[in-house]
A and B are shown apart, each in its own frame.
Chain A
Amino acid sequence: VQLVESGGGLVLPGGSLRLSCAAAGLDFSDSTIHWVRQTPGKGLEWIGHIRSRGIGYTAAYSESLEDRFTISRDDSQNMAYLQINGLKTEDTAMYYCARSLEAPFDIWGQGTMVTVSS
Chain B
Amino acid sequence: EMVMTQSPATLSLSPGERASLSCRTSQNIRSSLAWYQQKPGQAPRLLIYDASTRATGVPARFSGSGSGTEFTLTISSLQSDDFAIYYCQQYNNWWTFGQGTKVEVK
Give A contacts to B, CB under 8 Å. 34, 43-46, 49, 60, 62-63, 96, 98, 103-106, 108-111
Contact = CB atoms under 8 A, between A and B. Distances in A.
Interface residues of B, number: 21
Contacts of B95: 34, 46, 49, 104
B43 interface: yes
A37 B70 CA distance: 25
B96 to A, nearest CB: 7
Contacts of B49: 103-104, 106
A105 B94 contact: no
Interface string B38-78: 00001111100100010110000000000000000000000
Contact of B46 (A63, A96, A103): A103
B83 interface: no
Given A34-B95, A60-B94, A106 B46 contact: yes
